[in-house]
Amino acid sequence: MNELANFLPTVLSRSGLTVPSALIPVLAMFLCASIMAAFMGLSAAVLVWAERKLAGHFQCRLGPVYVGGKFGWLQSIADGIKLLLKEDIIPDQADRPLFRLAPYPVVIGVLLAFIAVPFSEKLMVTDFNIGVFFILAVLTVEVFGVILAGWASNNKWALLGAMRAAVQMVSYEIPMGLAILPVVVMAQSLSLKTIVAAQSGGALHWFVFQPPFFMAVSFLIFFIAGLASLKRAPFDLPEAESELTAGFHTEYSGMRFSFFFMAEYAGMLLVSAVASALYLGGWHGILPGQESVWWFLAKTGFLIFVMIWIRWTLPRLRIDQIVYVGWKVLTPFVLACVVGQSLWATLR
Amino acid sequence: MTAVTTYFSDVFKGLWTAMVGMSITLRYLFSKPVTEMYPDVKPKTPTRYRGIHVFEEEKCIGCYVCAKACPVDCIEIGVVRKGKEIKITKFDIDYQKCMFCDLCCEPCPAHCIHMGPEFEKASFTRRGTILQFATPKTLTEEEKKIEKIAKK
Amino acid sequence: MNSPGVTIDRDVKTDELVINMGPQHPSTHGVLRVILKTDGEICLDAQPEIGYLHRCAEKIAENLVYGQFVPYTDRMDYVSGMGCNLGYCLAVEQIAGIQAPLRAEYLRIIVTELNRIASHLLAFGTYGIDTGAITPFLYGFREREMILDLLEMLCGARLTYSYIRIGGVDGDVPPGFIDKLREFIDIFPGKIREYNKLLTFNHIFMKRTTGIGVLSPETAIAYGVTGPNLRGSGVRRDVRRDEPYSVYPKLEFDVPVGTTQHGGPLGDAWNRYYIRMKELEESTKILKQCVEQMPQGPIMAEKVGRVKPPAKTEGYMRSENARGELGFYVVSDGTMQPVRVKVRAPSFSNISVLPEIVRGQMLADVVAIIGSLDIVLGEIDR
Ligand code: SF4
Ligand code: SF4
């Protein structure tokens, strides 16, 4: 963002506009925000399409084929338009202000988190010195939206979905946070930029492939907990469609529903991006010296593919099993990783 | 098994079977889809397909046997009979009721009603789902008098 | 990952939540309505409420001649219509003293077993969906499609066959049918192994379904539960073997029963489900034998014409449909129409056991238990 703020005056003066210099940072902020929002919306659209297409092929089907030519490229745009044009229904007995409010925390949480994602050395909104921590913190805002939505809908299924979301959160949040620690210990920093920079020099320097592989385990745990935080299969209990019809967003339709939907897909992108920055070397390529935003996007894309792949393969867990997995499987393992990695770092 | 081994084998099995399942889905990701591109490519119905009826009017003798055999009484036949001459004035099948059971085709003495290969006869109106198989005819007054319309 | 029957210290008394599940709910398999009383996620009571699909089938039968009722039996258990056709036709044949020719009997068994496979594949797929895995459903449907194609070739319809008629079957095999059937028999065992790998032995799936909805053999028998659900509880009872009809005595097949060797207790949801997977194999075996043994000959008994059983005769015929013991009780008064037809629908007895086995389970398990009972509402409500 600072680069953008430095860069803006030149562009503006070239195009003959004069802007008071005090406004420049504000303008840069707005630009960044709108670029991020547009990026999120667009990536959500692409991801929805990709998910449907992949799901189709996983199941020996074709997925969307009609809208926008052979591969149904424009399917999610068409769906988006349809959702926008739909009537915005608020149930009679719902808590109206809360019902309206609920989608926003969900979207804002994910959107905010994107600020700290390092797409490449230069291409990031801002480099916090507590980047990782920030992302984890704002991601939890999403849960408030979910619980609000479930409560405000005044629907028993939605309420159950919301309660499940709350239960689920307390069980995945801790392993997810702890899973980052080995990386932090290794990179000696919470800033994502520094963490990625510490992994330069080819695939063997990526944190997943670092002996003694504590970080590989914590990568797995981060990924699993990430799936849970995104409410994606096999942890899609809050919206488990075969049990709770649609869970917390049962009563939502049209635009508000699309917010939840978009947040889920943007969240997928976010978790994959963070995972690839933390463990998979971010913008660093497989061979030493390769650096590009495309590497970052490719790794993120691969992780998203794995998420989709998992979703279309595995059955769903039960709520007590999620709590079990969170507390009794992920947490001990991740603690072991943290301790092991710290010992390794001090002894080396 | 002690609790500890159960615990570790659970964790291992959870990951392993997930991986086995994923390998299967991955294999199908690259296999050929089995989808039929229905409205673009019409499926080939087998010869015995029980679709919309095919009616051969010139053979029909207007005996109502088919209408009687029908469990849901959805065939309506109108006949004008003058000596040897038989005119089928009406042969309507109500496809809202018809259940494509083939029971009407078997007993027909003249073998003039069959189940056909056609299956796309949806309509936006109720009237439109009643298909008229007899060619429309203008009847003389005298013929109108002796026309018999029967529905079983 | 947690042992079933979670014990919770109830020092806090919370309100019970009454939830209306259905009639429009993704996993009640039709228009079943279940009134659930829950305490949070724990289900305290469940009352199935039926009747949304009632079409007076039994009454209709009284106003139709015997042969005309066959298409209605398709619409009872619409997932395995052939079995219903067969049950009804056997019952009428029994009281009218008609014997179908041997070739027809073999054809009947071929189609009912094919239909049983199709039905179990549907049960497998929907059970996957109930537990959250969507892909097995599509895989199951892929193979089911092959069966439906076969049946379509044979009788022209894909779901409501009315292929089996009183005194025989509707038509002989068309050219190419037997080859296609052989091909199916050859590839199918491989597919079953794949299903098992993908879903049956998936650890998450096993943890989800073992130990829930345990149906003891005593309860099962008391409620009249039959079919895979009863066999899942370890009772080796199969009408095809115990009171063989048609050509079943000539065929060799096992009757799989529930096991404890995969970790769960007898009669849990996983066992009920697993019986169906086992039966897929058994049915394939039966099909193979039928194709080999099938003689040439007529496919319709001679001089069936209008079925007119003697007056004051009545007969009850049970047959093993995909869901259990399907009984038809037909009373004749000597006219061409039956006086009374009573259907003993397996799903009806099977669903009645639901309140017994869902108590104390989690909400997600209720779905899994309903799925494991594999009900068809068309048959329950008739
Ligand atoms: S197919 Fe069956 S229902 Fe349809 S007209 Fe013929 S007898 Fe009636
Ligand atoms: S049974 Fe055949 S001949 Fe008689 S009315 Fe029907 S179609 Fe015509």
In tens, the pLDDT along C211-248 reads 888 888 888 888 888 888 888 888 888 888 888 888 88
Please report which helix (H) or strand (E) contains residue B82, including its range: strand B75-82
How far apart are alpha carbons C154 and C170 in whole angstroms? 9
Structure token pair of residue A331: 């947490």
The number of distinct structural domains making up chain A is 1
| Cross-chain Cβ contact B25/A309 below 8 Å | yes
| Cross-chain Cβ contact B26/A310 below 8 Å | no
Question: Measured in whole angstroms, how far is the alpha carbon of residue C271 from the centre of its chain?
Answer: 16
Structure token pair of residue A127: 């480099």
For an interface test with B, give the residue of C198, C210, C341 to mutate (most B CBs within 10 A).
Answer: C198
Computed from CA positions of residues B35, B39, B43, B47, in that sequence, does the dihedral angle turn out positive or negative? positive
pLDDT in the model for residue A71: 78
Q: Which chains touch A (3 or more CB pairs under 8 A)?
A: B, C
Which ligand number lies closest to the CA of residue B97?
Answer: 1
Atom of ligand 1 nearest to the CA of B69: 7
Tell me the average pLDDT across A116-145. 78
Please report which helix (H) or strand (E) contains residue B81, including its range: strand B75-82
- Residues of chain C with Cβ-Cβ distance to B46 below 8 Å are 152-153, 156, 174
A28-37, B3-12, C80-89: segment of lowest average pLDDT: A28-37
Local confidence band at C172 (pLDDT 50, 70, 90 cut-offs): confident
- Residue A99, in any domain of the structure: yes
pLDDT in the model for residue C1: 41
Nearest to B46 by CA among A318, A222, C71, C150: C150
| B76 min Cα distance to partner chain A (Å) | 42
pLDDT > 90 fraction of chain A, expressed in percent and rounded? 0
- Residue A150, in any domain of the structure: yes
Tell me the average pLDDT across B16-35. 82
CB-nearest to A243 from C27, C135, C207 is C27
- Residue B45, in any domain of the structure: no
- Residue A238, in any domain of the structure: yes
pLDDT > 70 fraction of chain A, expressed in percent and rounded? 91
| Cross-chain Cβ contact A61/B26 below 8 Å | no
Strands (E) across chain C are located at: 17-21, 33-39, 42-49, 164-165, 168-169, 311-321, 324-333, 338-344
- Residue A112, in any domain of the structure: yes
Average pLDDT, chain A: 80
| Cross-chain Cβ contact A61/B35 below 8 Å | yes
- Residue B127, in any domain of the structure: yes
End-to-end CA distance of chain A: 38
How far apart are alpha carbons A83 and A90 in whole angstroms? 15
Structure token pair of residue A304: 């998203």
- Residue B142, in any domain of the structure: yes
Residue A21: pLDDT above 50?
Answer: yes
Q: Which residue of A has its CA nearest to B10?
A: A329
Give yes or no for residue B93 CB within 6 A of ligand 2.
no
A275-279, C173-177, C262-266: segment of lowest average pLDDT: C262-266
CB-nearest to A324 from C2, C128, C131 is C2
| A59 min Cα distance to partner chain B (Å) | 7
C14 sits in the region (left: phi over 0; alpha: psi -120 to 50; else beta) called beta
Atom of ligand 1 nearest to the CA of B99: 3
Q: Which residue of A has its CA nearest to B35?
A: A61
- DSSP strand pairing (C164-165 vs B53-55): unpaired
Structure token pair of residue A18: 């004069």
Say whether residue B39 is in contact with chain A using an 8 A CB cutoff.
no
| A232 min Cα distance to partner chain C (Å) | 11
CB-nearest to A234 from C142, C199, C204 is C204
Local confidence band at C20 (pLDDT 50, 70, 90 cut-offs): confident
The number of distinct structural domains making up chain B is 1
Residue the block writes with tokens 């594999």: C374
In tens, the pLDDT along A57-79 reads 888 888 788 777 777 778 878 88
pLDDT in the model for residue C5: 52
C87 close to C72: Cβ distance less than 8 angstroms: no
| Cross-chain Cβ contact A317/C204 below 8 Å | yes
- Residue B106, in any domain of the structure: yes
| Cross-chain Cβ contact B21/C197 below 8 Å | yes
- Residue A176, in any domain of the structure: yes
Q: What is the distance in A from the centroid of ligand 1 to the CA of C316? A: 28
How far apart are alpha carbons C158 and C322 in whole angstroms? 17
ipTM: 0.79
Q: What is the distance in A from the centroid of ligand 2 to the CA of B57? A: 9
Please tell me the residue having the least CA distance from ligand 1 atom 8.
Answer: B70
- Residue A128, in any domain of the structure: yes
Average pLDDT, chain C: 83
Which residue among B93, B113, B131 has the greatest number of ligand 1 atoms within 8 angstroms of its CB, and so is best to mutate?
Answer: B93
Per the document, the length of chain B is 152
The torsion angles phi and psi of A38, rounded to 5 degrees, stand at: -65, -40
Please tell me the residue having the least CA distance from ligand 2 atom 4.
Answer: B63
Local confidence band at C12 (pLDDT 50, 70, 90 cut-offs): low
Please tell me the residue having the least CA distance from ligand 1 atom 2.
Answer: B101
- Residue A37, in any domain of the structure: no
C113 close to C181: Cβ distance less than 8 angstroms: no
pLDDT in the model for residue C2: 43
CATH code for position B119: 3.30.70.3270
Give yes or no for residue B80 CB within 6 A of ligand 2.
no
CB-nearest to A321 from C1, C138, C363 is C1
Helix ranges (DSSP H) in B1-126: 3-29, 65-69
Q: Which chains touch C (3 or more CB pairs under 8 A)?
A: A, B
- Distance of CA A256 to CAs A25, A252, C177, C222, Å? 32, 6, 53, 50
Tell me the average pLDDT across C295-319. 80
Residue B96: pLDDT above 70?
Answer: yes
In tens, the pLDDT along C311-351 reads 788 888 888 888 888 888 988 888 888 888 888 888 888 88
- Residue A144, in any domain of the structure: yes
Tell me the residue type at A315. Answer: P
Please tell me the residue having the least CA distance from ligand 1 atom 3.
Answer: B98
A145-149, A287-291, C72-76, C244-248: segment of lowest average pLDDT: A287-291
Which ligand number lies closest to the CA of residue B66?
Answer: 2
- Residue B22, in any domain of the structure: no
How far apart are alpha carbons C157 and A39 in whole angstroms? 50
Atom of ligand 2 nearest to the CA of B113: 7
The parent domain of residue A231 ranges over 91-347
The parent domain of residue B62 ranges over 53-150
- Residue B107, in any domain of the structure: yes
pLDDT in the model for residue C3: 46
Local confidence band at A3 (pLDDT 50, 70, 90 cut-offs): low
Tell me the average pLDDT across C276-300. 86
Please report which helix (H) or strand (E) contains residue B93, including its range: strand B85-94
Q: What is the distance in A from the centroid of ligand 1 to the CA of B112? A: 14
In tens, the pLDDT along C102-132 reads 888 888 888 888 888 988 988 888 888 888 8
C251 close to C244: Cβ distance less than 8 angstroms: no
A300 close to A225: Cβ distance less than 8 angstroms: no
A274 close to A267: Cβ distance less than 8 angstroms: no
Structure token pair of residue B19: 């991986």
pLDDT in the model for residue A15: 64
Cβ < 6 A, ligand 1 pocket = B 69-70, 72, 74-75, 93, 98-104
Please tell me the residue having the least CA distance from ligand 2 atom 3.
Answer: B60
Per the document, the length of chain C is 382
CB-nearest to A60 from B18, B33, B37 is B33
Residue A207: pLDDT above 50?
Answer: yes
Angle between the N-to-C axes of helices A214-229 and A254-278, in degrees from 0 to 180, rounded to the nearest 10 = 180
Local confidence band at A297 (pLDDT 50, 70, 90 cut-offs): confident
CB-nearest to A314 from B18, B26, B37 is B18
